[in-house]
Amino acid sequence: MKVVITWPDYDVAHEQLGGALQRAGLAIRLAPKRGARTPAELRGVLGQAAAAIVSTDPFDAATFAAHPALRVVARVGVGTDSIDLEAATASGVAVTVTPGANDHTVADHAVALMLACLRRLVEHDAGVRRGTWQRTGAHTPWLLTGATVGLVGYGRIGRLVAERLHGFGARILGADPAPSVRDGEQVMELDELLSAADVVSLHAPLLPSTRYLIGAPELRRMRPTAILVNTARGAVVDEAALARALADGQLRGAGLDVFDHEPPDLDSPLLALPNVVLSPHVAGLSEQSIAVMLRRATASVLDVLAGRAPADLANPAVLDRSMA
């Protein structure tokens, strides 16, 4: 049986990764995803694979239908918005994820984007490289200490961000479909949070109810001195509306790790704005988190192909079809 691996830089010699697959008698095909990939392109690399260890590859219903030998898709990460889970279940394909492995990494990155925007690091770095030395007036940075930070999505990662921000003396607000309250934190409706926060940081999953959760009306509710940070999913934000708000001075700045289409088009207006800090969907990536996620994804493949129920199934209903 063959395992197709689209995660870049997968170590085929590592004893807990490629070594473990090969000891189980599995052949490995590397097809790293380093940019955009269409479902048709993905179908071209899967072949007769029984398993796939994947990045953000687009597994649609047609892909599952075209690959009846496929038994498991092990996602390196937690997002499944690029995978049609209903079609996977109907085809008897287990889809696994690696929850919790990169929570701290995402929280660190969210705070880093806040600081980069408020301290205007990218703008000042570019200025120094141009030979300018603009420190005050229109180029003066701002402060995270004592700021009001609104966290949209108040699950594991949102709470880890809150813990980090307590060290800055920040006032923490939260908005979440399943609200709860902790000492020193206020959980409220989204509209109220948007109008009160100096920084809005997004940590909600991409669901039908959260697609374009932050659009033109929501951006208008934010303070013109506020910044927006997104380490969740790109489609949680209406990027066209965000670009207009930033260009018009309706919003102070934005820090974006995720985009509606990845990588974003080079002619996207967001790429031309000086008050936007960008990173290539790396919030969840560190040497430590990648190592944990790859080990767990590999173990999931080995479990499914050996007839064992894997940990962290994203579509547990598949057990009724293929592993009963």
Which of 203, 233, 252, 296 is labelled catalytic? 233
Largest CA distance in the chain: 67
Number of CB atoms found within 10 A of residue 179's CB: 12
Rounded to an integer, what is the distance from CA 174 to the centroid of its chain? 19
Q: 72 to each of 60, 126, 320, how far by Cα in Å?
A: 14, 46, 15
Number of CB atoms found within 10 A of residue 35's CB: 8
Residue 139 annotated as catalytic: no
Q: How many CA atoms lie within 13 A of 301 on its CB side?
A: 33
CB 53 within 8 A of CB 74: yes
Q: CA–CA separation, 191 vs 256, rounded Å?
A: 21
Structure tokens at 34: 């380093």
CB 283 within 8 A of CB 105: yes
Which of 192, 223, 262, 321 is labelled catalytic? 262
Residue 281 annotated as catalytic: yes
Residue 218 annotated as catalytic: no
DSSP assigned state of 308: P
Please give the positions annotated as active site.
233, 262, 281
